[in-house]
Chain A
Amino acid sequence: MTVTLLYALVGVALLSMGFYGLVIHPHLLRKLLALNVAGAGVFLFLVAAADSGAAGTPDPVPHAMVLTGIVVAISATALALVLADRIFQVSGSTQMAEKDPAEGL
């Protein structure tokens, strides 16, 4: 098993673990961390995909994809954190309320 394949498989593992963590943790911050772990997994897989073999230079397109992905992930995480903080302010809880469709306007 080459190093590249190892990176790719670890990336896959991180993605799966991240999704698992997103589902089982009720605490909002943990859900966000789990999502970030999943994102790291995808980025690691992309970096592995940039491998061009011993002779060639690495493929720069996946690197650019990862850079863009990181920026997008930061933006989304920042928004999510402020939302979570606001939910905490308004409701006093760090977990999302159970879905209550009859709740007021």
Chain B
Amino acid sequence: MTLPAWIVALPLLAAALMTAVPRSRLLMVGSAAILTPALVAFLARTILRDGVLQMQLGGWQTPLGIQLRADGLSVAMLGITAVIMGVITLYAWAYFRDHESSRYFWVLWMFLWAALNALFLSADIFNLYVTLELLGLSAVALVALPQKAAALTAAMRYLLVSLSGSLSYLMGVALLYAANGTLNIEMLANTAQASPATSAAFAMIAGGLIMKSALLPLHFWLPPAHANAPAPVSAVLSALVVKASFYIMLRLWLTLFGALTSPSIAQILGVMAAMAVIWGSIQALLADRLKMMVAYSTVAQIGYLFLIFPLSQLAQGSQEALQGGMYFLFSHACAKAAVFLAAGTVIYACGHDRIDGLAGIVRQMPVSMFAFALAGTSLIGLPPSGGFIAKWLYLNAALRNGQWWWCALLLGGGLLATAYIFRFFSIAFSNREEIVSARPVPKMMEWPALGLAVCAISLGLVAPAVKKLLGVGGLF
């Protein structure tokens, strides 16, 4: 069964062919955008039926060869990637019709997709390093596409942070290999012991991944990068790319490091997460550009993700905590992508995204604003959205294992999110008419945003199915 490898190889093949034959763009992008989600769906069905699928690449047994692992967690991540990348592909096709700078966009896009797929399937810590680099470089190149000073500087900062993070991660990998003689996650889980080398490796790996996930205080690179990138790029960066390093951190924590490091580490992560929620929300409230507000909202929501570590520490309620964290991930991915796409539509139509200059914009683009509103309810955490389910699961977990102080944070964060979302809405829905001329927006740019927002809302309704998928493999 070589299905997982095809899921990685397909976008890579498309990227290589598009480089050699640029005119094949439509064919390559179209086929990749249709076939990859189909393969992922097929893989999901397979693991629901047969359990975890482990693939030894090259036929070599671990530890000699590299192993791909398709369990509930990785296939769920592949699924959300497929959905979001597919929808944004539609949006980007319309968005880049007029743009000259899009000559290489699609090649970079396919590399990004391949990198994400490879990352979620890998069960080898060095292979994860290579996928992290593939992901980081394609993301940086996509951020730099507009070639304005702001975008280039943001891309440079992002690149430096990304490279430092990767190097730190690689040092951790080297330490783990030197201590244990294997690069496979499962084998490491069996052989690793609590030792200075393991703690140092954890520090390096966690430090690198936290830098790449933009957890406070290492978040400084994210707002400029996400705000100045083209809209489809901002959407995928906030929705998926920052989640990839978080995914690695989660997997390594659950299988390897959680048991081997001191319990206070999780609480420290929780404190950083809390500060991220508060600081990110406040900065979002103060932002005067729409995309900057959305980028800071991402900083805040990443805080919610990292709450998974303290909340899942004790056995009581850890299941809810883990599921809650994953729900945050999925619903934030859909909602944030929808919001960024809507913001991109705003810029396309009005030429700017200064919040104060967008009064009454709901009349110019009702569909996008509706998408924004729906996505906003998920970000705030109102039922029946996925964001609400996630918060509810977290609250349950916190109460069950006695860490009631996180409840205050969750509720407070919701209030802050309400504040900055409604600040935008009060202007967008106001009766003042300030929009002088707005370009008409192609349909293919408005409806993908709405589609993603609907996904964010309906995640609450498909909770049992998601729970079943996550459960494959025993991590959840």
Contact = CB atoms under 8 A, between A and B. Distances in A.
Interface of A: 15, 18-19, 22, 28, 31, 35, 38-39, 42, 45-46, 49, 61-62, 65, 68-69, 72, 75-76, 79-80, 83-84, 86-87, 90-91, 96-97, 99-105
A99 B292 CA distance: 13
Contacts of B157: 96, 99
Interface stretch (B220-228, B252-260, B314-322): B220-228
B149 A87 contact: yes
Contact of B152 (A39, A69, A83, A101): A83
Nearest to B353: A105
Interface string B106-142: 0000000000000000000010011001001100110
A13 to B, nearest CB: 12
13 contacts: A61-B183, A62-B177, A65-B177, A68-B126, A79-B159, A80-B163, A83-B152, A86-B152, A102-B289, A103-B228, A104-B150, A105-B148, A105-B347
A84 B137 CA distance: 15
Given A35-B160, A79-B140, A80-B163, A103 B171 contact: no
B160 A22 contact: yes
Given A90-B149, A97-B153, A42 B160 contact: no
B347 A87 contact: no
A27 to B, nearest CB: 12
B156 interface: yes
Interface string B157-181: 1011001100100110010011000
A31 B160 contact: yes
A46 to B, nearest CB: 5
A37 to B, nearest CB: 10
A1 B132 CA distance: 35
Contacts of B159: 76, 79-80, 83
Interface in B216-258: 220, 223-224, 227-228
A87 B129 CA distance: 28
Q: Interface centre among A31, A46, A72, by most B CB within 10 Å?
A: A72
B96 to A, nearest CB: 16
A87 B153 contact: yes
Contact of A79 (B141, B170, B178, B288): B141
A105 B354 CA distance: 10
Contacts, number: 105
A99 B177 contact: no
Q: What are the nearest 9 A-B pairs in CB distance? A: A49-B178, A103-B150, A72-B133, A90-B149, A87-B152, A91-B149, A46-B174, A83-B156, A42-B171
Contacts of A79: 137, 140-141, 159
A101 B289 contact: yes
A28 B174 contact: no
A64 to B, nearest CB: 9
A99 B161 CA distance: 14
Nearest to A101: B292
Contact of A28 (B150, B156, B220): B156
Given A31-B160, A91-B153, A105-B347, 5 more contacts: A28-B156, A42-B171, A75-B137, A83-B140, A90-B152
Contacts of B156: 28, 80, 83-84, 87, 96
B363 interface: no
A102 to B, nearest CB: 7
Nearest to A65: B126
Contact of A101 (B146, B171, B174, B223): B223
Given A72-B130, A105-B148, A105-B352, A99 B163 contact: no
B223 A39 contact: no
B443 to A, nearest CB: 23
Contact of A49 (B146, B164, B177): B177
B167 A68 contact: no
Contacts of A84: 156
B147 interface: yes
Contacts of B292: 101-102
Contacts of B160: 22, 31, 35, 80
Given A46-B174, A49-B177, A99 B224 contact: yes
A39 B130 CA distance: 14
A100 B347 CA distance: 19
A65 B347 CA distance: 44
B192 interface: no
B341 interface: no
Given A31-B160, A72-B130, A101-B227, A42 B170 contact: yes
B287 interface: yes
Nearest to A92: B149
A13 B163 CA distance: 18
A38 B170 CA distance: 11
A22 B163 CA distance: 11
Contacts of B147: 86, 90
B155 interface: yes
Contacts of A76: 133, 136-137, 159, 163
Contacts of B353: 105
Contacts of B149: 87, 90-91, 97, 103
